[in-house]
Structure 1
């Protein structure tokens, strides 16, 4: 196969044609055919995983492909916005800037319409409602649990992570939990949270086969060690539900 015959979104074909063909055959064919995800969901998983692993350049290069696969500019923005709750702005700021530049090149007018559904006085309550919908009734009073000196962090988790982000339009709760799974799997080192969000995905109806398919399509971008760790977490979290 010559380097002109395969997808080359990362512009590697001219100087690294052999590697470009090798990667394309694996990522865009073999890994992309694993499981039964539609094209938009596959790109959602890949972009979330790239945020998680810090793959800024790959993310920017794949924006046109993501739009072609059916993701909207709003959905792309929502992935990057929500990632901030799990990765921090220190990691997501370069992605937000790259995404703005990529959308500008695609002729998308910015800023996009707002997607927020909460206000300062409703965000905590709405966030708690989202937590309950995702994790169950046990989250009803979680926002005010824990030692007094650190209770504010549980309140922030409800008001900021879930109230500010999960209540936004553009992505539904199942999509938001799927990308959270990808953020955490790609980031590595946060297996307890990963298991919790795997359980949440399962509770929302995203089965283990879908999670494995999302992980499989992300593997070429995040590597085997983090993928194998995430696979073990899926197996452990899903075991009681077999």
Structure 2
């Protein structure tokens, strides 16, 4: 039992160090503002959930809640990521969050529930709403003819606009910036999704994140998930920033 407690304590310490990591050298040189501790929490719990590492997720959730992340924010991040890594990972993440909250309540810790999603007042179709949101995120008009996978499988293009960019992105518990950090955390952690990662890192810049903050994001992925995943993400980010010049 004592050994188990020591291992558990070591895991919590490692996750705490990851989530409170300082700005890396690239970020400092750039002079950009750093990611907040809240943003780093969203990245790490999303990465652990996507990877299926429930032991680190449990410790990460405790650290995030201790740092002020609300229950609804943590829950919303884990719900959001199902669109990028599937229901099984998302549901296991939610079950882990439930277990963490039960343990914390038993210890007398009363975590803040946080805001609920604001009721939507928009009579337009979900497709039109999703198309508008995607346009805002990408900074590109969405009225052109379908190409690529959207032309090959128009059904999935409808699902994306109606469900992902309307049903999910419309929920204001998390901001667009929050949701994009969750998204790139998932895509970096699962690997093999570099074209999608490229699109969403570009969106990160469109919604106000700075290059230095994205370099710091890669550092968080390196600490939380590993060198291989971080190097793949860094390569994509470097290509984006070079093309932006």
Give the C-alpha shift of residue 213 in structure 1: 0.7
Aligned counterparts of 2:23 and 2:72: Cα–Cα separation in 1 = 26
My pick for the range that moved more, 121-130 or 135-144, is 135-144
Counterpart pick for 1:63 among 55, 61, 64: 61
CA contact (8 A) 2:129 2:166 kept: yes
CA contact (8 A) 2:48 2:57 kept: yes
Show CA shifts across 1:202-234 (max 9, x none). Answer: 112212211111221232221101110000000
TM-score between the two structures when normalised by the length of structure 1: 0.81
Give 1:147-158 correspondences, 5 Å limit: 150-158=153-161
CA distance 1:16–1:183, change in 2 (3 Å): closer
Structure 1 residue 81 corresponds to structure 2 residue 75: no
Instruction: Tell me how many residue pairs correspond in the alignment.
Output: 230
My pick for the range that moved more, 156-165 or 106-115, is 106-115
Give 1:108-147 correspondences, 5 Å limit: 114-115=116-117, 117-118=119-120, 122-140=125-143
TM-score between the two structures when normalised by the length of structure 2: 0.80
Aligned counterparts of 1:14 and 1:109: Cα–Cα separation in 2 = 25
Counterpart pick for 2:222 among 200, 219, 224: 219
2:51 maps to: 53
2:30 maps to: none
1:5 maps to: none
CA contact (8 A) 2:71 2:111 kept: no
Structure 1, unaligned runs of 5 or more = 1-10
1:70 alignment partner, SS class: coil
Aligned counterparts of 1:71 and 1:22: Cα–Cα separation in 2 = 18
CA contact (8 A) 1:45 1:178 kept: yes
Give the C-alpha shift of residue 136 in structure 1: 2.1
RMSD: 3.3
Give the C-alpha shift of residue 105 in structure 1: 3.2
Give the C-alpha shift of residue 143 in structure 1: 7.5
